Structure 1
Amino acid sequence: MRLVYLFFFCLPIFSMAQDSIEVKRKGTLSGQWRTYYMMTSNKGELEDFNALATGGKLKYQYNLLENLEIGAALYNATNLGLQDLTIPDATTGRISRYEEGLFDRLDLENDVVFLLGELYAKYHLAQHSFTLGRMKINTPLINPEDGRMIPTLVQGFWYNFKAQKAKLQLGYLNAIAPRSTGEFYGIGESIGTYPVGRNNLGSASQYADNTTSDYILMANFDYEVTEQLNMNIWNQYVDNISNSLYIKPSFNISKSIILEGEWLHQNKVGDGGSSLDSLRYYNQNSSDVLGMKIAYKSKAGLVSLSYNRILPHGQFISPREWGREDLFSFQKRERSEGSADNHALVLNYKKDFILLKDLNLMSILSIGKHWKPDPTDAILNKYAMPDYTHINLDIFFNIKKLKRLRPELLLTSKIGNGNIPDNPNFYFNKVDMFHLDVILNYNW
């Protein structure tokens, strides 16, 4: 099983040898070797977790014809055995939340995961492209989410049109490989591979393996209305579950100041995943998320202030298996999904630094205050998340003499606010915790 280490160790050496040989070829070999250390320190006597993974991806693209490309990418995550993540916390009976996601969280005893995550044919013209097969896509609610070893990948058909001032995308998906798993699932099957939270009665949701949905239809129209105003519209129709309409206008007040808004409206489609209330995934009529963001760019860096409001009439519901929520108030290592009557205010500061002659870094400091519904209220708070203050420092290193190596360091602290019930389940892997990621990416 451990022979995979040698496999990934040899890949970057092979790529450097390829760089030194100039040959005309129709095919391109690329990839990434990633080593990922993750640690979570929980409150008091609650269990702490550590994990170390290595692996990455190997991708080959071949120009079969002048306008026709075929490609395949093999992904791998290998557990280096730092801690047995199958052993739960003694107090809550629960296992790790973040560290298990480096591997196949549905089978943590599987130390080596391989996934043929991309296998596609792509036909492209000057302004059009058509992709069929397994691929990566990046949308507000379905995206790779790079915070694990293997990203979220999809299977289906994708069309892309680009003009000078407009972009159109259309997609049909019939399968998804959720990050932190080792295979593709049907649309309904993929929902519930992550923790399911509570239903409206306060007991554990039962929609895992009980959700019926065959496909997803996607549409995106991104249009530059004027030099100052841009409009980005997405619609995501999930068969028998829900429809999500996302509208994001952006206005350049000046060269330095950008004002953005967002509105996400969701409504139930069909029977929400199941005809039985006790098994239903989308168990409400609708939900709405509103957001505003202002950003100022200067020589001192980029600073932005964002606000999101989830209205009280329904939880914002989107499968966590499919990627992160691309909302203004999103911060790494937490979600607003699963909440109604929710407020979030986030300040971001992005700055580039030159530390040494051959070492630059980009830092992103993120400070957020999140006002959640009462964690005991299952109707408004699916995952029993209390109020919290969230602080992230994300640092990306650029070593000029090692251009292919891109290290990253993420420091996260979540501090519980207000009167939190004296129950360890409201703290464990949620608040009053510290989290650390050290990531070494070698790209070629």
Structure 2
Amino acid sequence: MRILLILFICLPIFSLGQDSVATKKKGNLSGQWRTYYMMTANKDDLKDFNALATGGKLKYQYDILDNLELGAALYNTTNLGLQNLTVPDNTTGRISRYEEGLFDRLNLSNDAVFLLGELYVKYKLNQHAFTLGRMKINTPLINPEDGRMIPTLVQGFWYNYKASKSTFQLGLLNEIAPRSTGQFYGIGESIGTYPVGRNKGGNASQYSDNSESDYILMFNADFEIAKNLKLNVWNQYVDNVFNSIYIKPSLKISESVQIEGEWLHLNKIGDGGNSLDSLRYFNQNTADVLGLKIAYKKKGGLVSLAYNRILPQGQFLSPREWGREDLFSFQKRERSEGSADNHALVLNYKNEFEILKEDLNLTSILSIGKHWKPAVTNAVLNKYAMPDYTHINLDIFFYIKKLKHFKPELLLTSKIGNGDIPDNPNFYFNKVDMFHVDVILNYNF
């Protein structure tokens, strides 16, 4: 690691010497400075949480040749000490769910986390691109998830082919740095660094540090079948654990209306992570998620209505460590993962408007969702004991014209428990009947 850090520091110095004798700029320094405030107000006397972090990313890209690039990025988050997050709630004995994610959630006593998250070589040839090393990728089930200070990053090989109306990708990954951690882990090691929930017997799952998997193989094809009809297909093969195939067709009915569907099918591979039932991550045969979304676009605005159904025969499982779930019904600050026999209906309204002429523009996204869950006492269908809930998000992005590099964001979240929830604080704490605020100050350069 020391050698890698020295390389990261020396690259800009090396580039200065090169650029002085070359007419074409070979090096590019970019990054982001982010300051992030997060607050959760829980029900009644359950503990509230606050956290403030600052840090960001410093990235350097250097063109060794016209079609050969070397890149490195150093990520940091620093705890400004607003609250001691290691002190649990008195009633449940649990700590924060969201605020700890601003730092290294596996070592909250570490106030300053540094991670060499990207270190890669990229070769481009016409429409082909080959990348080897540590990198950031964005797929439906492995993605950066930008709602924290340090995103999810991966290590391995990635191939991309892009034509005018189609894209093909192939990836082989051998390590993952889960978001909100300070290091890379083997594929099996990374599963279970986030909360593990319950097994089907209702006891705490034990797959953390017990999942055996060496690699992930991914494939993607995104292409046009006919005029206005597109198909996006992903396949994710997780060695000895599970396979996911994701199919999303989209039909453009008019300039304003589009309909999309999605089907996610999962099936066990090998031992499902471990030969012992009690230590197994994917302890079922299959699972299926179906979705439908209709969107209407007008000048400055977009309205969509989405529905997702997780069928009863198996829980939708996708390691939370690997990013957010890119399903139609996804809403920031909650997931459907870990559920079976689940319904979700979500209305989104996105609008862009000018507040101060020539000075300030806003983009707002209002998201209202109703999520029907199996009973919290049913561990077979509800891994994380999540109650029925109504979820309301208001996400506001600020564009200040005179400060074009400054990108503030405000997220307001409320989750309201529905139905007959047992009188147990563990079914409410950090889950429902709560209010959550994010204030994010991004400066991109």
Code of the residue aligned with 2:440 in structure 1: it is I
Code of the residue aligned with 1:351 in structure 2: it is N
The list of structure 1 runs, each at least 4 consecutive aligned residues, that deviate by more than 6 angstroms after superposition, is none
Per-residue deviation, 1:24: 4.7
Code of the residue aligned with 2:52 in structure 1: it is L
Per-residue deviation, 1:25: 2.4
Structural mapping, 1:257-406, within 5 Å: 257-299=257-299, 301-357=301-357, 358-406=359-407
- Which residue is equivalent to 2:424? 423
Residue 433 of structure 2 is aligned to residue 432 of structure 1: yes
Between the aligned partners of 1:299 and 1:319, the Cα distance in structure 2 is 38
Between the aligned partners of 2:227 and 2:166, the Cα distance in structure 1 is 12
Q: Secondary structure at the match of 1:133?
A: strand
Provide, for residues 183-225 of structure 1, a one-character-per-residue CA deviation record: whole Å limited to 9, x for no partner: 0000000011100000000000000001100000000000111
Code of the residue aligned with 2:368 in structure 1: it is I
Between the aligned partners of 2:125 and 2:399, the Cα distance in structure 1 is 35
Structural mapping, 1:19-98, within 5 Å: 24-98=24-98
Contact 2:414 2:436 in 1 (8 A): yes
Between the aligned partners of 1:227 and 1:429, the Cα distance in structure 2 is 46
Residue 300 and residue 443 in structure 1: after superposition, are their counterparts in 2 closer, same or farther (change >3 A)? closer
Structural mapping, 1:202-241, within 5 Å: 202-241=202-241
Between the aligned partners of 2:163 and 2:399, the Cα distance in structure 1 is 33
Between the aligned partners of 1:371 and 1:172, the Cα distance in structure 2 is 36
Q: Secondary structure at the match of 1:402?
A: coil
Provide, for residues 52-74 of structure 1, a one-character-per-residue CA deviation record: whole Å limited to 9, x for no partner: 00000000000001110000000
- Taking only aligned residues, the RMSD between alpha carbons, in angstroms, comes to 0.9
Between the aligned partners of 2:184 and 2:90, the Cα distance in structure 1 is 33
Per-residue deviation, 1:86: 0.1
Code of the residue aligned with 1:219 in structure 2: it is F
TM-score by length of 1: 0.95
Per-residue deviation, 1:424: 0.2
Could you list the runs of 5+ residues in structure 2 that have no partner in the other structure? 1-22
Code of the residue aligned with 2:401 in structure 1: it is K
Between the aligned partners of 1:173 and 1:386, the Cα distance in structure 2 is 35
Code of the residue aligned with 2:384 in structure 1: it is Y
- Which residue is equivalent to 1:149? 149
Identical amino acids, percent of aligned pairs: 80
Q: Secondary structure at the match of 1:100?
A: helix
Code of the residue aligned with 1:385 in structure 2: it is M
Between the aligned partners of 2:74 and 2:124, the Cα distance in structure 1 is 23
Code of the residue aligned with 2:307 in structure 1: it is Y
Could you list the runs of 5+ residues in structure 1 that have no partner in the other structure? 1-22
- Which residue is equivalent to 1:19? none
Q: Secondary structure at the match of 2:226?
A: coil
Per-residue deviation, 1:327: 0.2
Provide, for residues 208-252 of structure 1, a one-character-per-residue CA deviation record: whole Å limited to 9, x for no partner: 001100000000000111221000000000000000000000000
Residue 404 and residue 285 in structure 1: after superposition, are their counterparts in 2 closer, same or farther (change >3 A)? same
Q: Secondary structure at the match of 2:426?
A: helix
Code of the residue aligned with 1:361 in structure 2: it is L
Structural mapping, 1:100-119, within 5 Å: 100-119=100-119
Residue 300 and residue 135 in structure 1: after superposition, are their counterparts in 2 closer, same or farther (change >3 A)? closer
Between the aligned partners of 1:299 and 1:125, the Cα distance in structure 2 is 39
Between the aligned partners of 2:165 and 2:390, the Cα distance in structure 1 is 40
Provide, for residues 84-111 of structure 1, a one-character-per-residue CA deviation record: whole Å limited to 9, x for no partner: 0000000000000000000000000000
TM-score by length of 2: 0.94
Provide, for residues 248-296 of structure 1, a one-character-per-residue CA deviation record: whole Å limited to 9, x for no partner: 0000011100000000000000010000000000000000000000000
Aligned length: 423
